[in-house]
Amino acid sequence: MPTSLSITPKGRTGPDVDPDVTPDLPPAPPGRDLMKIPLVAKVMRSRWYPGVLQVPVAGIFGLVAYQLLAGPVTAERNPGTALMWVLWWPVLPISFVLLGRFWCAVCPFGALSDFVQKIVGVNRPVPRFLKLYGLWIIDAQFLAITWSDHVWGIVESPWGSGVLLLLLTTGVILSGAFFQRRTFCRYLCFLGGLCSNYSRSSVVGLKADTSICATCKAKAACYNGTATQAGCPMFNFPRTMDSAANCNLCSNCIKACPNDAIQITTRKPMSELWFLDKPKVEESFLAMAIMGIVLIQNITMLTVWQDALAWIEATTGITNYPLIFTVAFVVAVSLPVGLLGVAARITAAGNLENTLMNFARFGYALIPIDIAAHVAHNLFHLLAEGSLVFSTVASMFGAAPADGATALASPAVILILQMVILALGVAGSAYAIRRITNRRYGSLARRRATTVPFMVLLGILSVLNVYLFMLPMAHRM
Amino acid sequence: MIPSKARHQQRAPRNAGQQIASVLAASISALILTTLGAPAALADPAGYPAQGPSAGATATPDPHASMTGMDPDMPGMSHDETPGMDPDMPGMSHDETPGMDPDMPGMSHDETPGMDPDMPGMSGAGSAHQHGAATGSEARPQAAVVGTFVLFNAGVLLTAGLMRRRAKLTASAKTSRSSGPTK
């Protein structure tokens, strides 16, 4: 009797194998290589890049620091405050989406770290606790700075902003003096954490052609550097790099690679969020903490905030503003984090991952609405107070200081722009939730069980943000 | 392992219709949000004046607004009517001054008549709005802070420099020992 052959793969119990158990995860599609454009290649390979940009940025930074520490004491008359919080801070998240972490390539802190390392650097390896907990330290810094801003005054206090810059500069010098590469930028900079999250949505990314890397004999020159060219300052190994989160587009690897394997590719915005294979809880936490920070920043600028404070004072007798604000701050930050946790828990009952993994994975999906809310909030400051940039800078050259901010756009235009940006962010997050789910799960039941809770969460955050943005907001300066 | 093509067939069919629906949903939500926002935007913007003095000091007071960000043209802020001012203070011309310089030191809030004591942030110790935002009269310990910054970082640089020098000397001593003359 002939033996019947099994048509199922060896080791399988039957033909109906759950495909979601061992999902076949397609990789991200390749984009257009910008290094094939001669001008881009010339700039990125130039020894003047990014130094030629770092010098003027450092100069402006020095001017800002001087004005903050020694210039006018009031925010609306201080050029440092206007340049830093009215111009630079609103434009920054937009640059992350368009150019990834490019700001870090020209950041004066990065340049300072490199300089200090060059003259006195001890170059110790990054401490293990920083590798393990650096992101949590960044999360804590972000929250602490936001809290301090409201309690002691940073944005509206030139002196406070100046002290913050001095503290950051001290951290940079400490890090550059004792540790390798740009340890501060990678593991300690609060802005770096923001850059990292937002840059995942960027339309450009750096990657290596692995087929070329497979035959490389240059002993990882892209990471280690060569005798004449430093390696990656952000501890990235381009051959295995699959994220724009920690790449500052400094082009060290491009210059060091002897095989021309490094590419700068275009990609669909937010596409990195769909193809994440190793999500991190601390990065999702940061994304939700930022959402909470935007909420509390919006709330404290509303006229209803005054009414709320008066009510609290009348009802409880508590007049201590730091205490009241701290409670509101904790609630505002905890709300999105808590809601994400609840959605993750509900989802875990219907898909194949636990609560923590769902929390980590889908926190990234909410980065687009994060960016949108952040940009929309700062758009108000840029457009409603933007004239201060011109008037305060002009006052350094003898012009009479203005009595206040003149809006660059009408309230109606600002609000419409905010709503459009929010809509884009909501759409982006909704699409990211869908793409992440569909990539991991084939069955309709699991897709539904995964998508619905996070879409509901997105809906809640969307309504909250829209409502807050539609309320009248006070100027900060 | 199920080949990806077969797996693709097992998945819920992903068709162009679903993608178009997603794009339409995003576009419609953008339109809805804009439509909702437009009437509010075009209504009387009671909350924040687009021009003029900062709303933080007037119509929509902000607890974080600097005390010295006050409108120099506010009633009662005339230079001639302000008691307690040092006439020899820099910038304090005895001639008629059209407006006060809010950056001038010594411009204590308590000495300025004509201010609304009920304005948020202007009340006494019981106010929930008092906190450490910068004021015109707030001293800035520039020498202390900048001096500490310079000294601390100089110490860091010196320490790192010494450590690096010692490491180099140790490394060069090891190298010379290992390449020393052999018998």
Contacts A442 to B, Cβ<8 Å: 7, 10-12
pLDDT number for residue B158: 96
Q: Which of A7, A25, A68, A73 to mutate to test the interface with B (most CBs of B within 10 A)?
A: A73
Residue, of A13 and A326, whose pLDDT is higher? A326
Kindly state the average pLDDT of the residues A10-16.
47
Q: How far is A70 from chain B (nearest CA, A)?
A: 8
Query: Contact at 8 Å (CB) between A401 and A392?
Result: yes
pLDDT at A7 over 60: no
pLDDT number for residue B71: 45
A406 with B50: Cβ contact below 8 A: yes
pLDDT number for residue A395: 85
Model pLDDT for residues A33-65, shown as the tens digit of each residue: 999 999 999 999 999 999 999 999 999 999 999
pLDDT band for B78, please (50, 70, 90 cuts). Answer: very low
- Chain A, window 405-424: residues with a beta carbon less than 8 angstroms from a chain B beta carbon: 405-407, 410-416, 418-420, 422-424
Given A170, A301, A321, which is nearest B130 (Cβ)? A321
Q: Can you tell me whether residue A378 is helix, strand or coil? A: helix
Query: Contact at 8 Å (CB) between B132 and A151?
Result: yes
The CA-atom distances, in angstroms, between B138 and each of A118, A382, B84, B183 are: 40, 28, 17, 76
pLDDT band for A324, please (50, 70, 90 cuts). Answer: confident
Given B55, B120, B132, which is nearest A153 (Cβ)? B132
Given B10, B30, B65, which is nearest A156 (Cβ)? B65
Residue A266, beta-bridge partner list: A204
CB-side exposure of A22: number of CA atoms within 13 Å?
6
Report angle CA A154, A156, A158 to the nearest 5 degrees: 70
Q: What is the dihedral of CA A424, A429, A432, A433, to 10 degrees?
A: -150
A:B CB pairs within 8 Å:
244
Whole-angstrom distance, CA of residue A272 vs CA of residue A249: 16
Residue, of B152 and B90, whose pLDDT is higher? B152
Q: Which of these ranges, A44-58, A222-236, B82-96, B145-159, has the smallest mean pLDDT?
A: B82-96
- Token pair belonging to B87: 């006439």
Residue B18, beta-bridge partner list: none
Distance separating the N- and C-terminal Cα atoms of chain A: 91
pLDDT at A269 over 60: yes
A122 with B163: Cβ contact below 8 A: yes
CA nearest to A174 within chain B: B156
pLDDT band for B28, please (50, 70, 90 cuts). Answer: low
pLDDT number for residue A58: 94
CA nearest to A403 within chain B: B53
Q: How crowded is residue A424: how many other Cβ atoms within 10 Å of its Cβ? A: 21
B30 with A22: Cβ contact below 8 A: no
Whole-angstrom distance, CA of residue A362 vs CA of residue A342: 12
What is the overall mean pLDDT for chain A?
88
pLDDT at A67 over 90: yes
Contacts B71 to A, Cβ<8 Å: 403-404
Among the listed residues A78, A112, A316, the one whose alpha carbon sits nearest the alpha carbon of residue B68? A78
Residue B84: partners with Cβ closer than 8 Å, 6 or more residues away: B108, B111
- Chain A, window 319-338: residues with a beta carbon less than 8 angstroms from a chain B beta carbon: 319-322, 324
Whole-angstrom distance, CA of residue A92 vs CA of residue A379: 11
B34 with A420: Cβ contact below 8 A: yes
Q: Locate tokens 């930074």: which residue?
A: A61
Helices H / strands E in chain A, number of each:
22, 2
Please state the pTM of the whole predicted model.
0.74
A423 with B4: Cβ contact below 8 A: no
Q: How far is A470 from chain B (nearest CA, A)?
A: 7
Report angle CA A408, A414, A419 to the nearest 5 degrees: 160
Kindly state the average pLDDT of the residues A357-379.
92
pLDDT number for residue B56: 32
DSSP one-letter string for A249-268: ---HHHHH-TT--EEEEE--
Given A157, A159, A420, which is nearest B30 (Cβ)? A420
A442 with B136: Cβ contact below 8 A: no
pLDDT at B74 over 90: no
Residue B21: partners with Cβ closer than 8 Å, 6 or more residues away: none
CA nearest to B48 within chain A: A474
Residue A207, beta-bridge partner list: A263
B7 with A419: Cβ contact below 8 A: no
Query: Contact at 8 Å (CB) between A15 and A7?
Result: yes
pLDDT number for residue B130: 36
Q: Can you tell me whether residue A91 is helix, strand or coil? A: helix
Residue, of B64 and A75, whose pLDDT is higher? A75
Q: Can you tell me whether residue A186 is helix, strand or coil? A: helix
Q: Which of A74, A180, A183 to mutate to test the interface with B (most CBs of B within 10 A)?
A: A74
**Is the complex ipTM more than 0.85?**
no
pLDDT number for residue A316: 82
Query: Contact at 8 Å (CB) between A338 and A284?
Result: no
Contacts B97 to A, Cβ<8 Å: none
Kindly state the average pLDDT of the residues A179-194.
92
Query: Contact at 8 Å (CB) between A423 and B30?
Result: yes
Whole-angstrom distance, CA of residue B122 vs CA of residue B112: 11
pLDDT band for A470, please (50, 70, 90 cuts). Answer: confident
B36 with A384: Cβ contact below 8 A: no
DSSP one-letter string for chain B: ---HHHHHHHSPP--HHHHHHHHHHHHHHHHHHHHHHHHHHHS---S--SSSS-GGGTTS--TTS-GGGS-TTSTT--GGG-TT--TTSTT--SS--SS--TT-TT--GGG-TT--TTSTT-S-TT-TT------TT----HHHHHHHHHHHHHHHHHHHHHHHHHHHHHHHHHHHHHTSPP-
Given B30, B45, B50, which is nearest A427 (Cβ)? B30
Q: A453 in contact with B at a CB cutoff of 8 Å?
A: no
Model pLDDT for residues A188-223, shown as the tens digit of each residue: 998 988 889 899 999 999 989 989 999 888 888 999
- Roughly what angle, to the nearest 10 degrees, separates helices A158-178 and A108-120? 40
Contacts A475 to B, Cβ<8 Å: 48, 54-56, 60, 62
Q: Which of these ranges, A240-244, A369-373, A435-439, B101-105, has the smallest mean pLDDT?
A: B101-105
Model pLDDT for residues B152-164, shown as the tens digit of each residue: 999 999 999 999 9
